[in-house]
Amino acid sequence: PQLNNPDLEEIPFKEVPELVDPMIKGHQSMTSLSEVDEGTTTRYVMEDQDIKTFLAIPVIVQGDFYGFVGFDNCTGEVRWSEEEVRTLKTITSNLAIAIERNQIENERKKLLNEKNRILESIGDGFFAVDNNFIVEYWNNQAEELLFTPKEKVLNQYLWNAFDKNLAQKSYQQYSKALKERIPLKFEDYYKPIGRWFDVNVYPSQNGISVFFKDITERKQAEEKLKELNQSLKVQAKELARSNEELKQFALVASHDLQEPLRMITSFLAQLERKYKDVLDEKGKKYIYFATDGARRMRQIILDLLDFSRVGRVDMEKSEVDIYEILENIQTLHHKIIDEKGARVTWGKMPVVFAARGPLQQLFQNLINNALKYHENDHQPEVKISSIETETHWGFSVKDNGIGIKEEYKEKIFNIFQRLHHKDEYSGTGVGLAICKKIIEMHGGEIWLESEEGKGSTFYFTIAK
C-alpha cells in the first residue's frame, strides 16, 4: 500500500544513513526496528510503514553505487539467512548487469550518432569499406560527389557501383592501404564523371576509411597555368628574338645608315658652297630643307640607338642620390632655364637603389619636356616631388605647360609618337619611350595626369 506514497519518495540519502552508508561502501544493509535510534528518519519511515526488518542490496553499475533493491519484512524482526541473501544478491546483480549493458548500449548509440553527425557535417566525401570492399558507410557528400545514392552501395561490393578498371589508381591504393595497413594520400581522376579527387585513406579496425575532396577546379587551373606558362615561354623566346633583331637594326642604323647620311649632308653642303652663285632663292631653299631633313634623320638614328641601349648598357644598380641628379640636370640646363625664365624646384629627395645613368636620363627627359612644351611667352614652372611607400619610391614631375589631351595619355609613351609638328616643338618622339623602358627595368610604372592648357604631371615609381 505504500508503493506510491509521495512522503516516502526522494528522501535524501543523508537523512537515512542507517540504510545508505553500508551500501555506498558496497555492502548490503540489514537492520531491525529495535536497532534504530528514536527520532531518526529511518525509524520514522520504518514505523510509518510497519517495517520490522529491512534488507537493502546495492546495485553497483560500472563500479558506482547506482541504487538499491530493498526487501521489507513487516511480520516481525528477522534475520535473512545467508542462502536467502545470496539469492537476492544474484537477482540484484543481474539487474545491475542489465542496467550496465543498457547504459553501454546508450553510450554506443550516442557515440555512433555523434560520429555520423561528424561524418555528415564534414565537407569531405566519406565512405568506409571492410576488408572485402563491402561498403559500410557512405555519407551525404559522397552521394553528391560521386553521383551515387547510399541505397545503391551500402552493404554492396564497392566495385559493383564503380568500374575498377576506370579507377585503377584508387583501386591500387585502397588495396595497398588494406594490405599494409598504412594511411595513404593521392589524387585520382574518375573519368565517368570527369572529376578530379584528392583522396585520403586510413586503415580502420576491419577495413579502410576514405575521405575525399573534389579538386577538379584546382586541377583545371593548374592545367591552365601550365598552358599559360608554355605560351609565356614562347612569347619570351619571341621577345628575345625581336630584341636581338632590334639590336642588329640599331647596329645597322648606327653604321650603315649614318654613312650615306653623312654623304648626303656633305654633298648638299658642297652643292650650296659651289653653286651658291648659280642657284636662285628657290634652289637654296630646297637645299636648306634637304639639309634639315638629313639633320633630323641623324637625330632620329641617334635617339633610336639610345632607346635600344636602355637595358643593355649601364644597368648596374647602386645607391643614387636623387638630389644630386637633379642638381646635375639643373646645371646642364641652366642656359635654357635662364632663357625661358623658368623655375625648377624640388622637395626632399631620397637616396634610391637604381641604375644611375638611366635614372638621370629619365629625370632629364621629363624635365626637358616640362621646360619645352610651353607657349612661347609662358614662364615654365617645374616642380619635382617624391613619396615613399612600403615597396616603391614614387616621384612626380609637374609643369604648367600646354597639357596633353586625355586620348593621348597612353600613346605618347610609344616610340616615335609625337603630338606636334617639328616646327612647333622639336623632337623625335623617343624620350618618353625611353623613360618607360627605364621605369620597367626598375619594376615601376609611369603615367600622367594632365589638363589641356594648364599643365601636366608625370608620375613614376621605382621598386625599392
Nearer to ligand ADP, 70 or 453 (CB): 453
Nearer to ligand ADP, 59 or 344 (CB): 344
Pick from 399, 437, 442, 460 the residue near ligand ADP by CB under 6 A: 399
Q: Does residue 124 bind ligand ADP (CB under 6 A)?
A: no
In the block, residue with C-alpha cell 531518526: 40
Pick from 125, 358, 401, 444 the residue near ligand ADP by CB under 6 A: 401
Nearer to ligand ADP, 204 or 369 (CB): 369
Q: Three-class SS of residue 226?
A: helix
Q: Which H/E stretch holds residue 459?
A: strand 455-463
As a 3-state breakdown, the chain gives helix, strand, coil percent values, each rounded to 5, of: 50, 25, 25
Q: Smallest distance from the beta carbon of 357 to ligand ADP, in angstroms?
A: 18
Q: Does residue 382 bind ligand ADP (CB under 6 A)?
A: no
Nearer to ligand ADP, 145 or 366 (CB): 366
Mutual angle of helices 41-49 and 17-24, in 10-degree steps: 110
Q: Smallest distance from the beta carbon of 425 to ligand ADP, in angstroms?
A: 6
Q: How many CA atoms lie within 13 A of 198 on its CB side?
A: 9
Q: Smallest distance from the beta carbon of 247 to ligand ADP, in angstroms?
A: 21
CA atoms of 99 and 63, how far apart (whole Å): 12
Window 212-251: residues binding ligand ADP (CB under 6 A): none
Nearer to ligand ADP, 370 or 439 (CB): 370
Q: Smallest distance from the beta carbon of 433 to ligand ADP, in angstroms?
A: 6
**Distance from CA of residue 374 to its chain's centroid?**
49
CA atoms of 144 and 126, how far apart (whole Å): 11
Mutual angle of helices 431-441 and 281-309, in 10-degree steps: 0
Q: Smallest distance from the beta carbon of 251 to ligand ADP, in angstroms?
A: 23
Q: Does residue 58 bind ligand ADP (CB under 6 A)?
A: no
Nearer to ligand ADP, 222 or 440 (CB): 440
Applying CB under 6 A, the site for ligand ADP has a residue count of 21
Amino acid at 421: H
CA atoms of 404 and 49, how far apart (whole Å): 112
Nearer to ligand ADP, 246 or 419 (CB): 419
CA atoms of 246 and 305, how far apart (whole Å): 10
Burial category of 134 from C-beta neighbours within 10 Å (exposed 0-12, middle 13-18, buried 19 and up): middle
Name every residue whose Cβ is closer than 8 Å to that of residue 371 and which is 6 or more positions away in sequence: 333, 336, 337, 340, 342, 344, 380, 382, 399
Q: Smallest distance from the beta carbon of 260 to ligand ADP, in angstroms?
A: 24
Pick from 23, 402, 438, 446 the residue near ligand ADP by CB under 6 A: 402
Q: Smallest distance from the beta carbon of 450 to ligand ADP, in angstroms?
A: 7
Q: Smallest distance from the beta carbon of 261 to ligand ADP, in angstroms?
A: 19
Nearer to ligand ADP, 187 or 381 (CB): 381
Nearer to ligand ADP, 18 or 399 (CB): 399
Q: Smallest distance from the beta carbon of 341 to ligand ADP, in angstroms?
A: 18
8 A C-beta contact, residue 92 and residue 102: no
Nearer to ligand ADP, 137 or 458 (CB): 458
Window 412-431: residues binding ligand ADP (CB under 6 A): 412, 417-420, 427-431
> Residue 369: which of 409, 399, 339 has the closest Cα?
399
CA atoms of 209 and 178, how far apart (whole Å): 10
Q: Smallest distance from the beta carbon of 430 to ligand ADP, in angstroms?
A: 6
Mutual angle of helices 281-309 and 216-252, in 10-degree steps: 140
Q: Does residue 404 bind ligand ADP (CB under 6 A)?
A: yes
Nearer to ligand ADP, 170 or 364 (CB): 364
Q: Smallest distance from the beta carbon of 417 to ligand ADP, in angstroms?
A: 6
Q: Smallest distance from the beta carbon of 304 to ligand ADP, in angstroms?
A: 12
Strand pairing category for 343-346 and 381-388: parallel
CA atoms of 272 and 293, how far apart (whole Å): 15
Window 434-463: residues binding ligand ADP (CB under 6 A): 456
Name every residue whose Cβ is closer than 8 Å to that of residue 59 and which is 6 or more positions away in sequence: 65, 66, 67, 68, 69, 92, 95, 96, 99
Pick from 432, 439, 446, 462 the residue near ligand ADP by CB under 6 A: 432
Task: Name the DSSP class of 14.
Answer: G
> ∠ CA(89), CA(90), CA(96), 5° rounding?
85
Q: Fill in the per-residue mask, 341 to 380: x = in contact with ligand ADP (CB under 6 A), - = not in contact.
A: ------------------------x---xx--x-------
Rule CB under 6 A: which residues touch ligand ADP?
365, 369-370, 373, 399, 401-402, 404, 412, 417-420, 427-433, 456
